[in-house]
Amino acid sequence: MRKPFIAGNWKMNMTHLEAMKFLQEMGFKYENNTGCEVAVCPTATALRSVKTILEEDEMEIKLGAQNMHFEDSGAFTGEISPQMLTALGVEYVILGHSERRQYFAETDEIINKKVRKAFSSGLRPIMCIGESLDIRESGKHKEFVLDQLVKCLDGIDAKDINALTIAYEPIWAIGTGKTATSEDANDMCAAIREKISDIYGKKEAGSVRIQYGGSVKPFNISELMGMPDIDGALVGGASLKVDDFIALINY
Task: Give the model confidence (pLDDT) of 137-148 as tens digits.
Answer: 899 999 999 999
Say which DSSP state 176 is in: S
Beta bridge partners of 235: 8
Reply yes or no on whether the pLDDT at 5 is more than 80: yes
Which residues, in sequence order, are CB contacts of 42 under 8 Å at separation 6+? 10, 14, 16, 19, 50, 66
Tell me what the mean pLDDT of segment 20-47 comes to. 92
Whether 10 is covered by a domain: the verdict is no
What whole-number distance in Å separates Cα of residue 224 and Cα of residue 231? 9
Backbone angles phi, psi at 178, to 5 degrees: -85, 140
pLDDT at 174: 80
> What share of the chain has pLDDT > 90, as a percent?
89
Is 234 strand, coil or helix? strand
Whether 21 is covered by a domain: the verdict is no
What whole-number distance in Å separates Cα of residue 234 and Cα of residue 88? 22
Read off the pLDDT band of 1 (50, 70, 90): confident
Reply yes or no on whether the pLDDT at 179 is more than 90: no
Reply yes or no on whether the pLDDT at 89 is more than 90: yes
Whether 109 is covered by a domain: the verdict is yes
Which residues, in sequence order, are CB contacts of 48 under 8 Å at separation 6+? 16, 88
Domain count, the chain: 1
Tell me what the mean pLDDT of segment 209-238 comes to. 95
**Catalytic annotation on 183?**
no
Question: Which residues constitute the domain of residue 164?
Answer: 30-249
Residue 122 — left, alpha, or beta (φ > 0 → left; ψ -120 to 50 → alpha)? left
Identify whether the C-beta of residue 127 lies closer than 8 Å to the C-beta of residue 156: no
Which CATH number covers residue 138? 3.20.20.70
Beta bridge partners of 9: 41
Read off the pLDDT band of 177 (50, 70, 90): confident
Amino acid identity at 68 = M
Mean pLDDT of the chain: 95
Tell me what the mean pLDDT of segment 96-108 comes to. 95
Beta bridge partners of 92: 64, 124
**Catalytic annotation on 169?**
yes
Read off the pLDDT band of 229 (50, 70, 90): very high
Identify whether the C-beta of residue 178 lies closer than 8 Å to the C-beta of residue 136: no
* pLDDT, tens digit (0-9, with 9 covering 90-100), for 126-172: 999 999 989 998 999 999 999 999 999 999 999 999 999 999 999 98
Whether 12 is covered by a domain: the verdict is no
Whether 14 is covered by a domain: the verdict is no
Identify whether the C-beta of residue 230 lies closer than 8 Å to the C-beta of residue 193: no
**Catalytic: which of 37, 106, 131, 169?**
169
Reply yes or no on whether the pLDDT at 24 is more than 80: yes
pLDDT at 172: 85
Whether 157 is covered by a domain: the verdict is yes
Whether 105 is covered by a domain: the verdict is yes
**Catalytic: which of 16, 97, 99, 131?**
97
Amino acid identity at 212 = Y
Three-class DSSP labels, 47-73: HHHHHHHHHHCCCCCEEEECCCCCCCC
What whole-number distance in Å separates Cα of residue 38 and Cα of residue 135? 31
pLDDT at 33: 72
Least confident window among 91-95, 169-173, 198-202: 169-173
Whether 158 is covered by a domain: the verdict is yes
pLDDT at 215: 86
Say which DSSP state 46 is in: G
* Alpha-carbon torsion, ordered 88, 208, 226, 142, to 10 deg: 110
